[in-house]
A and B are shown apart, each in its own frame.
Chain A
Amino acid sequence: MYRMCNLSNLLNFIICIASFSQNFDATLAVKRGPHHPRGETRRVDQHLTHEEHRIDDDLKDMGVQANLDDLSEEEKIFYMFKAHDNDNNNALDGLEMIQSAMHHNYDYFKNNERDAYLQNATDELEHFIEAIDKFLLIADDNNDGLLHYPEFVKAITGGKEQPNVDRNILR
């Protein structure tokens, strides 16, 4: 499961964490089976397919005219970090990561009815909050609630996959 995280970006990692936690949570397993329309397989495939498209959209939003073919992998990671650092304080916090996840899953809510939309939005939000908490636990080395660029790069490119027991107790 975690090998796929090394291939991709923050979002994919969050979704991997979410899918991973999904396997451990019985209620979530009951709620979302393998045949759920927003199931694990479809989501991962869609994210892998549309990764370039999302980065391109983010670059346009930032006002940068750059060709993705000319970017190195490190530059893509940087632009992904910068695109969601909305207050420009050189760090990502939980609110920005929520918006990153919700922003990239907007397509799922486009064609739904209003009531279904609200219910789905709430479920998705709780799902992402859970994933982000696990991600911060893993990636936030100095435990300041913020994800700085070195921590971000390390989390994206792998390195740690087990949370610290002491920190877990502390939280």
Chain B
Amino acid sequence: TGNLSPGAVGVHRRFEYKYSFKPPYLAQKDGTVPFWEYGGNAIASSESVRVAPSLRSQKGAIWTKSQTNFDWWDVEIVFRVTGRGRIGADGLAFWYTTEKGDYNGPVFGSSDRWNGLAIMFDSFDNDNKHNNPYISAVLNDGTKLYDHAEDGTTQLLSGCLRDFRNKPFPTRARIEYYNNVLTVMIHNGMSNNNDDYELCLRADGVNLPKNGYFGISAATGGLADDHDVFHFLTTSLHAAGQVQEQPKVENQEKLTQEYKEYQDKLEKQKQEYKKDHPDEHKDEEDWEEFYESENQRELRQIWQGQSQIADHLRELSRKVDEIIGRQETTLSLVSRNAGQALPPPAAGGVPQQQLPVGAVSRSDVDLLLTNQNMLLSSIREIRQLVGDINVRTDNIQTNQKHAPTAQIQSTGYDVQTLIAEMRDGMNQVKQGITHVGQRLAAPQGAAQVANCPTGNCVGVTLFLSVTVVQLLLVFIYNVFKNRSEAQAKKFY
């Protein structure tokens, strides 16, 4: 539970276990409560101390064995007062006194003429003013008698009207005493949220004796309630700086993280155990419903409905707070925006706006130049391509001109070869003739100079006839060769 009192901010708190008790091991096996002693009709068990049972004229009390060794303190009490009927008696009292009181005394089971503080949870209406159950604080210096007939109103320091009887959850009280300021906060037991405390009373300038005893007492009268106290938790309060703070444990964050991991693992294991053993973990509420009468069920349903309404109201209140927060944020933003609206009309803003335009125009010009350069290069490439196309077109045209010729050549291949060979032969013949001519010219010159024998030389007719025979032989050979080649082709 957090620190609810604003006055105690920055205070060092220390749990005092020697002035506390709590379940589930409140009482030892021998019935004693460590650091406490109880008497009268009080009964201590492992779960609670029944300070006064619901029988007529019962009184009981439980007190700390030792006096406190601290000046300021905060005590949290968790208790329950239950009884039949709309009116009960007599009440419960918290004590902080210089001496331990009685265990069967006249004031709610404890002594009168106490020296110190009493917080009284008075159930019965003795003065017929219809203002009970009432919670009050009464100071005494050991000289006054408690005015029971008037419910102590004449001696009252302060108080509040709170019904603490027959609540679905235990009632809680936080009694804080710090710097002579007494604060009592009450949890009315209508919800199981332990932080639903409300301020009951606050008193300044309260001088309590040092080093007192803590105690709880209760009494019943003609009407009788059960008075059970479950927790008594004492925390000592020290001014900041009075207590020397030690540095934090090493690896604090690592250990905290490790603790969370183990905690999650433990929760999983518990759930698995419940699944495996469903019978062992039956809730007590299931059993309670068996013994519920119709009227009780109707009242419980009404109470549940009202509890839900209260929850919704609380949630609506929280949402309204959020909306208010957002509204304030929006207003602050609007004010900031209004402040930001001033710079644009300033004179310096105008040239600043033009400079980016110039810069943009320059960049645009650069972009245009680069684009034009790219266009030029593209056009050049297109020209080259067009030139290539023209060249290829000319080649195609030339090929088309030669195409019919090629067809003829293909059919006249043999003829062409024959013609070529004939030309070669003719050339050879011409060469031979030229040689012969040269030789004839030379001998003619010699003949003119010297006479030749008439009977030994080759005649012109003989020479020509030999030439013709040679040509015929070459021609016949070529024809035979072509025919053999044709036959070879036919064969394949």
Contacts and interface: CB of A to CB of B under 8 A. Distances in A.
Contacts of B23: 86
B17 A145 contact: yes
Contact of B13 (A65, A141, A144): A144
A94 B18 contact: yes
Interface in B1-60: 12-18, 20-25, 28-30, 32, 34
Given A64-B270, A86-B24, A144-B15, A121 B30 contact: yes
Contacts of A45: none
A98 B266 contact: no
A118 B30 contact: yes
Given A95-B17, A145-B15, A145-B17, A65 B273 contact: yes
B269 interface: yes
B273 A141 contact: no
A1 interface: no
Interface stretch (A3-11, A12-20, A22-30, A148-156): A148-156
A142 interface: yes
Contacts of A79: 266
Given A75-B262, A106-B29, A121-B32, 12 more contacts: A64-B266, A65-B273, A65-B276, A78-B258, A90-B259, A95-B17, A102-B25, A141-B247, A143-B14, A144-B14, A146-B15, A167-B246
A150 B249 contact: yes
**Interface on chain A toward B: helix, strand, loop, or mixed SS?**
helix
Contacts of A144: 12-15
23 contacts: A65-B269, A65-B276, A75-B262, A78-B259, A79-B266, A82-B263, A82-B266, A86-B22, A90-B259, A95-B17, A95-B25, A106-B29, A117-B30, A121-B28, A121-B29, A121-B32, A143-B14, A143-B244, A144-B14, A145-B16, A146-B15, A149-B255, A154-B249
Contacts of B411: none
A143 B269 CA distance: 33
Contacts of A2: none
Contacts of B439: none
A117 to B, nearest CB: 7
A41 interface: no
B414 interface: no
A78 B262 contact: yes
Contact of A153 (B16, B255, B270, B276): B255
A159 B248 CA distance: 13
Contacts of A103: 25
Contacts of B34: 95, 98, 125, 129
A153 B251 CA distance: 10
A118 to B, nearest CB: 5
Interface residues of B, number: 44
Given A121-B29, A141-B248, A164-B246, A95 B270 contact: no
Interface string A82-98: 10001100100111001
B214 to A, nearest CB: 15
A83 to B, nearest CB: 10
Interface of B: 12-18, 20-25, 28-30, 32, 34, 235-236, 243-252, 255-256, 258-259, 262-263, 266, 269-270, 272-274, 276, 281
A63 B273 contact: yes
Interface residues of A, number: 43
A63 B21 contact: no
Contact of A63 (B20, B258, B281): B281
A150 B22 contact: no
Interface of A: 62-66, 74-75, 78-79, 82, 86-87, 90, 93-95, 98-99, 102-103, 106, 109, 117-118, 121, 125, 129, 141-146, 149-151, 153-154, 159, 164, 166-167, 170
A99 B34 CA distance: 10
A95 B266 contact: no
B411 to A, nearest CB: 101
Nearest to A147: B15
A78 B248 CA distance: 19
B269 A151 contact: no
B25 A99 contact: yes
Contacts of A74: 258, 262
Nearest to A98: B34
A77 to B, nearest CB: 9
B20 A95 contact: yes
Contact of B17 (A62, A65, A93, A117): A93
Nearest to A99: B25
